[in-house]
Copies of this chain bind each other. A is one copy, B any other.
């Protein structure tokens, strides 16, 4: 089926753009001399992940145990579950390991470390745990110089748990928009994570893996000495937030929402679309950036951005397309965007928009579409 015949709203992947993005990040990891472990929380889609693995990725990163279970069932064995484990989730982690999954857990505190050790001992399982390092203060993790780092390392190491590595995510990179600042943050991310690994090793704890990354720092890193692997997620599709951060062009964005014009409020200069926030998601990441794209950037069906227009508002199943000139409504809106016209909307945040859909429609270079399932939930 051609994309113009799809029912709307639909989540459309431009396969050529996606493949270009995958090749670009893999080449970056290769250039930096590290393995690449994509974060699959962005797509939650086996077809996308297969393309990443074929391009050279080693293992995957997941944000939920459901992702780990689904991708392991599909044959992916090397899986980093990159959210601090809640002790009550250990039975699910154990079940995966017992089936042969090389699942790595993450902790950043002594309580969870002790819980893993106790649970592992109770069930005769040697869990592999990576310690989360905080290199930019934006969320979780232990800072490299904290005593807690060695405390957690020792609780694991001395109680039959394998300390497989350290990992960090400089998520504050999303707030930057300057290449030099990104390169500096990438250097800080690398240095902090390597320092944490060195401290653990000096304490007699092996710590083989040193894992860093976010899409912006991964692309901005000048060198990754001491690092063993890079992680990134949203790069596979990119989005308007990443465009504003400066790491992709509008025509690199591989995910868009196909929509239909269903009405007008001509005197206000509005065209009404059948893609509201249920389709675009409520993510308004660009609202805090230099260029606010509203609920998304409209494009023609062939992907050409309609400069001067944006999705300025959204209800659950209604989007409002209007001119970016606030005080000058487009008087020709109904002629320019007639009822039934189909458009493609580039999203603020690909991870959030993708999650609104049970499937993607992947458009190949010959213009045909394939249905690629995705899953949601925990």
| CB-CB contacts below 8 Å: A186-233 with B | none
Nearest CB of chain B from residue A324's CB, rounded to whole Å: 20
Nearest CB of chain B from residue A281's CB, rounded to whole Å: 6
Check: A176 CB closer than 8 A to any chain B CB. Answer: no
Check if A338 sits within 8 Å of B282, measured CB to CB.
no
Check if B282 sits within 8 Å of A317, measured CB to CB.
no
Check: A377 CB closer than 8 A to any chain B CB. Answer: yes
Q: How far is the CA of A171 from the CA of B317 in the complex (A)?
A: 13
A268-303: CB near B (< 8 Å → 1, else 0) gives 000010100111011110000000000000000000
A8 / chain B contacts, CB cutoff of 8 Å: 86, 88, 378
| CB-CB contacts below 8 Å: A352-372 with B | 352, 355-359
Check if A272 sits within 8 Å of B355, measured CB to CB.
no
Check if B338 sits within 8 Å of A262, measured CB to CB.
no
Q: Which of B41, B108, B278 contacts A263 (CB 8 A)?
A: B108
Nearest CB of chain B from residue A322's CB, rounded to whole Å: 13
Nearest CB of chain B from residue A272's CB, rounded to whole Å: 5
Most chain B beta-carbon contacts within 10 A, residue among A87, A278, A339: A339
A132-161: CB near B (< 8 Å → 1, else 0) gives 001000011000000000000000000000
Check if B338 sits within 8 Å of A356, measured CB to CB.
no
Question: Chain copies in the assembly?
Answer: 2
Check if A352 sits within 8 Å of B274, measured CB to CB.
no
Q: If A112-B262, A376-B358, A377-B359 touch, does A318 touch B87 (CB 8 Å cutoff)?
A: no
Check if A265 sits within 8 Å of B140, measured CB to CB.
yes
A87-116: CB near B (< 8 Å → 1, else 0) gives 111001000000000000000110110010
Check if B64 sits within 8 Å of A317, measured CB to CB.
yes
A376 / chain B contacts, CB cutoff of 8 Å: 356-358, 376
Chain A residues with a Cβ closer than 8 Å to the other chain, count: 58
Q: If A7-B378, A277-B352 touch, does A83 touch B359 (CB 8 Å cutoff)?
A: no
Q: How far is the CA of A261 from the CA of B377 in the complex (A)?
A: 19
Check: A10 CB closer than 8 A to any chain B CB. Answer: yes
Check if B263 sits within 8 Å of A88, measured CB to CB.
no
The 4 A-B residue pairs with the shortest CB-CB distance in the complex, in nearest-first order: A282-B282, A111-B339, A358-B377, A86-B260
Task: Beyond the given A7-B378, A278-B352, A282-B282, please list 20 additional residue pairs across the A-B interface where CB-CB is below 8 A.
Answer: A10-B378, A63-B316, A64-B317, A83-B317, A84-B262, A86-B260, A86-B261, A86-B262, A86-B274, A86-B339, A111-B338, A111-B340, A139-B315, A140-B318, A277-B352, A281-B282, A282-B284, A357-B376, A358-B377, A359-B377
| 26 sample A-B contacts, Cβ–Cβ < 8 Å, listed by A number | A41-B316, A63-B317, A83-B262, A83-B318, A85-B262, A86-B340, A87-B340, A109-B264, A111-B339, A112-B339, A115-B339, A115-B340, A140-B318, A277-B283, A277-B352, A278-B352, A279-B378, A281-B281, A282-B282, A282-B284, A282-B349, A282-B352, A355-B356, A357-B377, A358-B377, A376-B376
